[in-house]
Amino acid sequence: MRILVTGGAGFIGSEYVRRRLRADPAARVTVLDELTYSGVEENLAPVADHPGYTFVRGDICDPDVVDQVMAGQDAVVHFAAESHVDRSIEGAGPFVRTNVTGTQVLLDAALRHRVGRFVHISTDEVYGSISEGSWTEGWPLAPNSPYSASKAGSDLLALAYHRTHGLDVVVTRCTNNYGPYQFPEKVIPLFIIHLIEGRTVPLYGDGRNSRDWLHVSDHCRGIDLVLHGGRAGEVYHIGGGTELSNHKLTGLLLDAFGAGWDRVEHVADRKGHDLRYSLDDSKIREELGYVPQVSFTEGLADTIAWYRAHRSWWEPLKRRAALR
């Protein structure tokens, strides 16, 4: 199978590419990535010598580039997106351009080239916030940030191409990912790095905000299941099964470093900060046999060890992203 992976130099995309190429000597994967501030070609160095790997630097909003890389592909796995909520609050333009317009350009090209399957990677944030229970795939979308609104728009656009044009589209929505190679602005690597450096960690508000945590390798296994077995025109949730408040997560990280709560700096809460996310992922479990394999205890310990061992990877990225 020839697969085009957009955003394949990012955190989740690079895990997917590494996983696929390591598992299959005959795999053919083309990565399209613009290498903006959060795209790191070094993330793909472990598979750079694979004979089926091709890297193309380009913008998913550029129809000419997209048309060239789409030709001959059997499937698209579309990760490329602007994804940091705080940045979307500061300026929504890049999020609308990349997440909505970029998705439309890709869908048009996939339709022209008769691509067999288009897997659109999305997020639980499109649903807004839920006080109790869990969202099912048919739950109405109610995004609260410019980022999540742009992702909701791209989801609906992708599904519309299935209904209007018959394009084989499947949408996945995941919970919060963590693991190696995650860009340092996200909460788990940010806190780990601050603790490695002996600094305080910035906890939003009172820390009551709650998220379900999904190891990136489990997420990519779920995506593969959907790529090969999901039903066209459907949405599939991919969850991790570990719901934690930010306060609890902070405590676990402090404990891992032998640090106390004096290392926590309480900062003003994010605008429109969703209180709780929770996905019902019974559909992918029942239809495709998905079960998370990495426990949060194991995954967090491995992630901390990875950041300890890869300071040369994250220090330049902190400077690139202008993180304190």
Catalytic residue among 124, 155, 218, 281: 124
What is the reported pLDDT for 84?
A: 66
Measured distance CA(77)–CA(314) in Å, rounded = 26
Question: Does 283 reside within a domain?
Answer: no
Is 173 within 8 Å of 279 (Cβ atoms)? yes
Question: Does 286 reside within a domain?
Answer: no
Catalytic residue among 16, 127, 147, 307: 147
Catalytic residue among 33, 34, 125, 212: 125
pLDDT band at 257 (very low <50, low <70, confident <90, very high): very high
Known catalytic residue: 125? yes
Give per-residue burial for 275-293: e unless 16+ CB within 10 Å, then b.
ebbbbebebbbeebebebe
What is the reported pLDDT for 91?
A: 82
Rounded mean pLDDT, 205-212: 91
Rounded mean pLDDT, 59-66: 98
pLDDT band at 269 (very low <50, low <70, confident <90, very high): low
Q: Please tell me whether residues 119 and 205 are part of one structural domain.
A: no
What is the reported pLDDT for 28?
A: 97
pLDDT at 120 over 80: yes
Question: Does 280 reside within a domain?
Answer: no
Question: Does 289 reside within a domain?
Answer: no
**CATH number, residue 193:** 3.90.25.10
Number of domains within the chain: 2
Residue 216: exposure state from Cβ atoms within 10 A (0-12, 13-18, ≥19): buried
Rounded mean pLDDT, 255-268: 93
Instruction: For 130-182, write each residue's pLDDT tens digit.
Output: 999 999 999 999 999 889 999 999 999 999 999 999 999 999 999 999 999 99
Q: Please tell me whether residues 108 and 220 are part of one structural domain.
A: yes
pLDDT band at 106 (very low <50, low <70, confident <90, very high): very high
Q: Please tell me whether residues 17 and 109 are part of one structural domain.
A: yes
Known catalytic residue: 124? yes
Q: Please tell me whether residues 8 and 153 are part of one structural domain.
A: yes
Residue 251: exposure state from Cβ atoms within 10 A (0-12, 13-18, ≥19): middle
Q: Please tell me whether residues 26 and 126 are part of one structural domain.
A: yes
Question: Does 193 reside within a domain?
Answer: yes
Question: Does 281 reside within a domain?
Answer: no
pLDDT at 324 over 90: no
pLDDT band at 206 (very low <50, low <70, confident <90, very high): confident
What is the reported pLDDT for 87?
A: 79
Instruction: For 218-239, write each residue's pLDDT tens digit.
Output: 999 999 999 999 999 999 999 9
For the chain, give the mean pLDDT: 94
**CATH number, residue 94:** 3.40.50.720
pLDDT band at 267 (very low <50, low <70, confident <90, very high): confident
What is the reported pLDDT for 323?
A: 54
Q: Please tell me whether residues 302 and 231 are part of one structural domain.
A: no
Measured distance CA(75)–CA(98) in Å, rounded = 20
Q: Please tell me whether residues 152 and 35 are part of one structural domain.
A: yes
Instruction: For 23-33, write each residue's pLDDT tens digit.
Output: 988 999 999 99
Q: Please tell me whether residues 131 and 197 are part of one structural domain.
A: no
Q: Please tell me whether residues 157 and 266 are part of one structural domain.
A: no
Question: Does 167 reside within a domain?
Answer: yes
Question: Does 76 reside within a domain?
Answer: yes
Q: Please tell me whether residues 25 and 106 are part of one structural domain.
A: yes
Domain that holds residue 308: 178-211+242-272+294-320
What is the reported pLDDT for 149?
A: 94
